[in-house]
Each structure stands twice: as structure tokens, then as C-alpha cells.
């Protein structure tokens, strides 16, 4: 299974709509880094509105993706994390403080634009 990655101007947009298994998550990591390389995107928004569970493995993959993308010059923003998911992550002891977040796709794009234009 592949997660589609959309390109819009200098941004890449991803909306995760499927139950993430380990393989899909790792495949996504690879695909995204390749797309950043190919397109030279400056910003990435990963929307998690439809995701109802993030365990420590997926959290690690997401955190890694953010750091790897940054190394390649792209700022990643996670958006739409649901309250139940946030509470579970906090219970697990994962606060992802270094990962930028926004309420939804729209605000994520606004925040990215602001940060990248500064």
C-alpha cells in the first residue's frame, strides 16, 4: 500500500487515510524523502485527521521523517492530531516537542508559509 503525496507549488501535501501498518509507514518515509529530493519542496504538511491511533513505532517513524526532511531542507508540519491520539501519545511518554504542529491542513499551510517567509 502506498500513501499518495500531492505537490502544490513548493509544498508537499499528504493526508493519511489508512490504518498505518509498519510497512506502509516505512514505505511512506522512503517515498516522501524521494519526493522532497525530486521536487525540492520547501515545506511538507502531513495531515493526520483520519488517524485514530499512533503507537510508539509510528510516532518514531513520524519523528524521524520530520528530522530527515529537515536535513534535506524541508520543514514538516503535522496537522489534525485528534485529542484521543494526543492523550495516548502523552500517556506513552511521547511529547514530540521538536515536531511542528497545527490544528488542520489550512492552518498548517499558513504556519509553514509564515515560517518559511521569515
Partner 1 sequence: MRNMINDISSNKRDVIAQKWKNELSTLKNLCISSKITPDMFEQLNEEFLDMMIRYINQNDIEKDQTLHRFFDKVLQLNMPLKFLTQGLQTFRRVILDVLLQEDVKKEKAIDIYQHVDRLIDPLLNEVVEESSLFWEKTVSAQKTALMELSAPVIPVLENITVMPLIGTIDTERAKLIMENLLDGVIKNRSLVVLIDITGVPVVDTMVAHHIIQAADAVRLLGATCILVGIRPEIAQTIISLGIDLSYFPTKSTLLKGIEHALEITNQQLLKK
Partner 2 sequence: MSIQSCVEVRNEWDIVSARQLGRNMAKELGFGTVDQARITTAISELARNIYLYAGHGKVCIEAVEEMGKKGLKIIATDKGPGIRDIRKVMEDGYTTSGGLGAGLPGVKRLMDEFSIDSSVNVGTEIIATKWIR
Residues of the shown chain interacting with partner 1 in the complex, contacts defined by CB under 8 A: 78-81, 83, 85-87, 89-90, 95-97, 101-104, 107-108
Nearest residue (CB) to partner 1, 19 versus 106: 106
115 binds partner 2 (CB under 8 A): no
Q: What torsion do the CA atoms of 71, 75, 81, 87 make, to the nearest 10 degrees?
A: 50
Q: Which of 94, 99, 101, 107 binds partner 2 (CB under 8 A)?
A: 94
Q: What is the nearest approach in angstroms of partner 1 to the Cβ of residue 84?
A: 8
Q: Taking CB within 5 to 8 Å according to partner kind, which of partner 2, partner 1, none is near residue 43? A: none
Q: Which of 14, 54, 66, 81 binds partner 2 (CB under 8 A)?
A: 54
Closest CA to 93 of 55, 67, 48, 49: 55
Q: Taking CB within 5 to 8 Å according to partner kind, which of partner 2, partner 1, none is near residue 49? A: none
116: left (phi over 0), alpha (psi -120 to 50) or beta: alpha
Helix (H, G, I), strand (E, B) or coil at 68: helix
Amino acid at each position: 500500500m502506498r500513501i499518495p503525496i500531492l505537490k502544490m507549488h513548493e509544498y508537499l501535501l499528504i493526508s493519511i487515510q489508512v490504518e498505518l501498518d509498519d510497512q506502509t509507514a516505512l514505505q511512506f518515509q522512503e517515498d516522501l524523502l524521494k519526493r522532497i529530493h525530486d521536487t525540492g519542496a520547501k515545506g511538507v504538511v502531513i495531515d493526520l485527521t483520519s488517524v485514530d491511533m499512533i503507537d510508539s513505532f509510528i510516532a518514531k517513524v513520524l519523528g524521524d521523517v520530520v528530522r530527515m526532511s529537515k536535513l534535506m531542507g524541508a520543514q514538516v508540519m503535522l496537522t489534525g492530531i485528534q485529542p484521543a491520539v494526543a492523550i495516548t501519545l502523552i500517556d506513552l511518554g511521547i511529547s514530540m516537542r521538536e515536531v511542528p504542529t497545527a490544528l488542520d491542513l489550512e492552518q498548517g499551510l499558513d504556519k509553514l508559509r509564515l515560517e518559511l517567509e521569515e
